[in-house]
């Protein structure tokens, strides 16, 4: 079967995983790790991509990168070729160092950015190399804490979601990461749609539209209207979605409304969070949880299709329609 082409557009966020050929180690000592980071820093400047997280393990590495004009394929080709040449020269080897084609998952930045930063930086803990992520030198985690010598990451966007005050943002970021320190491997970040997308169908449609696949209709429906329609279908008062209590059905309805707002009207998670008086972090976690439930619940998928159809009809009658 022919390989599907990489999706590329400025602003695309990728979780990149590359492993050693035949599961061999690709970093044998500290010098190798430093050399790889020096190449990564060099190509980051040359190709002007953003880097939000990385983890270098003995046999593989993870990157969380957002590209601009230069496609990921060009960046990775340069990085892997350069490091392979160094590795083979140093150890007197020839041939391939990395296993076939690296894996690149195109991710919904609005929903998954923070979750992936945390997940990638917890790799050494899951591998039982350390008990705390800051005890491992070869990830970007310590840089977020202000304890690293190198400045490789684009940290402002991440830390800004925790607080405008930098020391407070660092403290809250650390708490956010440690909240999942006991969590094991998460298949949901790898078992992705069409083997290359991490996000809902609406995200896939938007990504493919940017690559020239047919456009989709977006209904500019107010959040209040989406909220009311959700509450009508699940049979609760809208006030419960705005309540600050941990009302389970209210949380469920709020997550459903957030999902639909993004699917039908391209609202960002931060817009929905502000509407419901929640933090963007809490709201993005709610959307992820709802999307997971949607994949495994046929009845819920049917309900969502009914609500989408009702809102679409309403959108055609009352609201502006744009093309995304």
Tens digits of per-residue pLDDT, 247-260?
A: 888 888 898 988 88
Residues 248 and 306 in one domain: yes
pTM of the model: 0.74
Domain count, the chain: 2
101 shares a domain with 193: yes
Q: Is residue 6 part of a domain?
A: no
Q: C-alpha dihedral over 194, 256, 279, 282, to 10 degrees? A: -60
* 208 lies in some domain: no
Question: What is the CATH number for 243?
Answer: 1.10.1750.10
Task: Report the CATH number that the domain containing residue 18 is assigned in CATH.
Answer: 3.30.70.1290
Over range 183-200, report the average pLDDT.
Answer: 64
Same domain, 45 and 95: yes
Instruction: Give yes or no: residues 121 and 253 share one domain.
Output: no
Do residue 19 and residue 100 come from a single domain?
Answer: yes
DSSP state of 129: S
Host domain of residue 36:
13-198
pLDDT in tens, 1-59: 345 566 778 899 999 999 999 889 999 999 999 999 999 999 999 999 999 999 999 99
Q: What pLDDT, on a 0 to 100 scale, did the predictor assign at position 200?
A: 67
């Amino acid at each position: 079967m022919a390989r599907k082409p990489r999706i590329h557009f400025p602003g695309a966020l990728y979780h990149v995983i590359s492993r050693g050929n035949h599961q061999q180690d690709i970093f044998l000592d500290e010098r190798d790790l430093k050399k790889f980071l020096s190449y990564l820093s060099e190509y980051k400047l040359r190709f002007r991509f953003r880097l939000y997280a990385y983890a270098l393990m003995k046999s593989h590495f993870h990157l969380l990168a957002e590209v601009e004009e230069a496609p990921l394929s060009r960046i990775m080709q340069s990085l892997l070729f350069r490091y392979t040449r160094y590795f083979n020269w140093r150890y007197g080897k020839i041939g391939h160092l990395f296993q076939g084609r690296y894996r690149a998952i195109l991710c919904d930045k609005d929903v998954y950015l923070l979750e992936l930063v945390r997940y990638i930086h917890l790799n050494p803990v899951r591998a039982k190399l350390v008990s705390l992520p800051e005890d491992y030198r070869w990830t970007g985690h310590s840089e977020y804490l202000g304890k690293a010598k190198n400045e490789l990451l684009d940290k402002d966007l991440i830390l800004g979601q925790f607080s405008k005050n930098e020391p407070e943002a660092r403290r809250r970021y650390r708490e956010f990461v440690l909240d999942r320190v006991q969590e094991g491997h998460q298949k949901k970040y790898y078992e992705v749609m069409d083997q290359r997308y991490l996000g809902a169908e609406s995200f896939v449609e938007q990504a493919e539209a940017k690559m020239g696949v047919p456009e989709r209709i977006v209904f500019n429906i107010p959040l209040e209207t989406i909220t009311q329609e959700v509450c009508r279908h699940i049979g609760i008062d809208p006030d419960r979605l705005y309540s600050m209590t941990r009302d389970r059905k209210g949380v469920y309805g709020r997550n459903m409304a957030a999902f639909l707002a993004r699917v039908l009207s391209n609202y960002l998670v931060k817009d929905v969070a502000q509407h419901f008086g929640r933090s963007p972090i809490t709201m993005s976690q709610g959307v992820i949880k709802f999307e997971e439930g949607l994949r495994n619940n046929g009845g819920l998928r049917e309900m969502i299709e009914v609500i989408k159809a009702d809102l679409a009809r309403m959108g055609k009658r009352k609201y502006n329609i744009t093309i995304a």
